[in-house]
């Protein structure tokens, strides 16, 4: 009967095969017999033997094998578990917070242009050096010293400089004049130092020649007079013309320095070492120097090259001037000066601000002169024939025989014969 009271419809017959006896449990199954227990005609059972299936009940459900015999259950007493020890846990590392920004895309690596960078650095250095050179070159005072005149001697081999040390006090305060013992203003500027430097074209050492200021020479337009009078009469142009006419040597470059500039250059290089043969005590020059090798300051060096308070007067002064110039050039071109900016820059700036050069001369011409003189020049003076009195005072005469041969060797860019290098009367 159904729950609603209607009779249940008969179930269709099961499609399964004939009923089979219920299967026994594996625990109750009979032990398999050995092959000897079977008759010879029968086949022993194997793993593929089929057991009869269980019969279906009235509802069509398949019966199950009988259960095993229940056995009494004995519960094992379990010991209470020991309290678990809390394991020491390492603190978990903090996880980095995720960036909300989108991931960066790796850009393609750019090629490094080392050649371009090198050119940029080189350009900056060139511009920097060029700016310094331009500044120093513009600090030079320029005069029109090498002017053309009728009958001027043509160009001669080698390079010839005329260096002049004037007694100009221009730019000095009264205190500086007293410190340098200049003696105050004495009228038109004159020159105490006149040096001719010849640099040969090929190999060979340069030659530094002292021209005594009292040399009795012909001054164009002024007759016979002392050599330094040409500077007082007509300045640098007349002095250059007078030297060229007396020596037969073409002058290529001109440089002039006054009292203040001379002392400043010496102080810029930290003093100059010279060896004094005889002690010099000259109140007019403001010095009292003992004999022996020593370092001179700017004011002491100025008095050293100006003093005539010695046995040979002008001859000793010219020797002192050449010795001092050689020592100054050696100190100025030494590594201790070039590698020390505290010396190099004052030397360059003081030299540029205190020098007067020709219109066509530049700072690189002066650098070439200093570089050529670094190895030590041959120092000498014009061959002297003696002294005599004249209408302009006591004058110095050049040797009529040796002086022409001496200057002819310079004009022809030849080595001066040793017998002409002695100098003196």
* Token pair belonging to 420: 């002409």
CA distance 388 to 314: 14
- In a 10 Å sphere around its CB, with 0-12 CB exposed, 13-18 middle and 19+ buried, how is residue 344 labelled? middle
Least Cα distance to 310 among 295, 323, 299, 297 occurs for: 323
- Where helices occur in 216-280 by DSSP H, the ranges are 227-247, 259-268
Q: What angle do CA 257, 258, 259 make, to 5 degrees?
A: 135
Sheet of strand 141-143, all strands in order from the earlier edge strand to the far edge: 141-143, 355-358, 253-257, 159-166, 191-199, 207-210, 378-381
* Chain centroid to CA 287: 41
User: Which residues, 6+ apart, have CB-to-CB distance to 304 below 8 Å?
Assistant: 274, 276, 280, 285, 287, 289, 296, 320, 324
Per residue of the chain (425 residues), give pLDDT as tens.
Answer: 555 556 555 555 555 555 555 555 444 555 555 544 445 444 555 544 555 555 555 555 555 555 556 666 555 566 655 555 555 566 666 666 665 676 676 666 666 667 777 788 877 777 777 777 788 888 888 999 998 999 998 999 999 999 998 765 555 555 655 555 555 555 456 687 899 999 998 888 899 999 988 999 999 999 999 999 999 899 999 999 999 999 999 999 999 987 667 778 888 888 888 888 888 888 888 888 898 999 988 888 888 888 888 877 777 888 888 888 888 888 888 888 878 887 878 788 777 777 889 999 998 898 898 888 887 788 899 998 888 999 998 899 999 999 999 999 999 999 999 888 864 44
Picking from 395, 268, 285, 282, the residue whose alpha carbon sits closest to that of residue 332 is 268
d(CA 330, CA 325): 8
User: For residues 196 and 243, is the Cβ–Cβ distance under 8 A?
Assistant: yes
**CATH topology for 153-413?**
Aminopeptidase (3.40.630)
User: Contact at 8 Å (CB) between 225 and 214?
Assistant: no
The pLDDT value given to residue 424 = 42
Please choose, from the candidates 175, 266, 198, the residue with its C-alpha nearest in 3D space to the C-alpha of residue 414: 198
pLDDT of residue 425: 40
**In this predicted structure, what is the pLDDT of residue 42?**
47
Determine the pLDDT at residue 169. 52
- pLDDT value of position 86: 55
How far apart, in whole angstroms, are the C-alpha atoms of residue 169 and residue 190?
A: 11
- Which of 352, 353, 333 has the alpha carbon at shortest distance from 343? 333
Contacts of 338 by beta carbon, 8 Å cutoff, 6+ apart: 344
Radius of gyration of the chain (CA): 59
Q: What is the distance between the alpha carbons of residues 196 and 147, in angstroms, rounded to a whole number?
A: 18
> Which two three-digit tokens encode residue 80?
């209470």
Pairing of strands 159-166, 253-257: parallel
Q: How far apart are CA 265 and CA 349, in angstroms?
A: 9
Does pTM surpass 0.85? no
- pLDDT score recorded for residue 224: 94
């Amino acid at each position: 009967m159904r729950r609603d009271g209607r009779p249940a419809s008969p179930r269709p017959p099961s499609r399964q095969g004939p009923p089979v006896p219920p299967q026994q449990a594996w625990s109750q199954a009979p032990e398999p017999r050995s092959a000897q227990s079977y008759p010879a005609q029968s086949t022993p059972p194997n793993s593929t033997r089929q057991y009869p299936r269980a019969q279906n009940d009235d509802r069509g459900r398949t019966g199950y094998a009988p259960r095993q015999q229940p056995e009494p259950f004995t519960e094992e007493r379990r010991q209470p578990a020991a309290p678990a020890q809390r394991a020491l846990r390492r603190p978990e590392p903090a996880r980095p917070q995720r960036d909300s920004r989108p991931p960066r895309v790796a850009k393609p690596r750019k090629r490094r242009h080392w050649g371009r960078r090198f050119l940029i650095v080189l350009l900056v250095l060139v511009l920097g050096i060029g700016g310094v050179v331009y500044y120093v070159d513009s600090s030079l005072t320029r005069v029109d010293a090498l002017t053309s005149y009728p009958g001027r001697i043509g160009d001669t081999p080698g390079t010839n400089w005329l260096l002049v040390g004037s007694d100009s006090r221009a730019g000095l305060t009264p205190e500086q004049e007293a410190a340098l013992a200049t003696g105050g203003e004495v009228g038109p500027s004159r020159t105490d130092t006149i040096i001719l430097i010849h640099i040969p074209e090929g190999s060979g050492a340069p030659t530094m020649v002292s021209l005594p200021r009292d040399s009795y020479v012909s001054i164009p337009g002024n007759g016979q007079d002392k050599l330094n009078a040409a500077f007082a009469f007509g300045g640098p142009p007349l002095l250059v013309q007078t030297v060229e006419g007396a020596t037969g040597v073409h002058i290529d470059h001109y440089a002039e320095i006054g009292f203040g500039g001379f002392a400043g250059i010496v102080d810029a290089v930290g003093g100059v070492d010279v060896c004094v043969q005889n002690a010099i005590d000259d109140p007019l020059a403001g010095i009292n120097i003992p004999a022996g090798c020593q370092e001179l300051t700017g004011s002491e060096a100025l008095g050293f090259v100006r003093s005539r308070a010695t046995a040979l007067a002008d001859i000793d002064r010219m020797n002192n001037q050449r010795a001092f110039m050689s020592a100054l050039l050696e100190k100025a071109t030494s590594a201790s000066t070039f590698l020390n900016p505290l010396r190099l820059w004052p030397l360059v700036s003081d030299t540029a601000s205190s020098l007067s050069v020709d219109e066509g001369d530049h700072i690189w011409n002066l650098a070439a002169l200093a570089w050529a003189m670094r190895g030590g020049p041959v120092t000498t003076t014009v061959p002297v024939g003696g002294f005599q009195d004249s209408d302009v005072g006591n004058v110095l005469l050049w040797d009529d025989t040796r002086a022409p041969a001496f200057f002819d060797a310079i004009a022809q860019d030849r080595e001066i014969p040793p017998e002409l290098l002695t100098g003196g009367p």
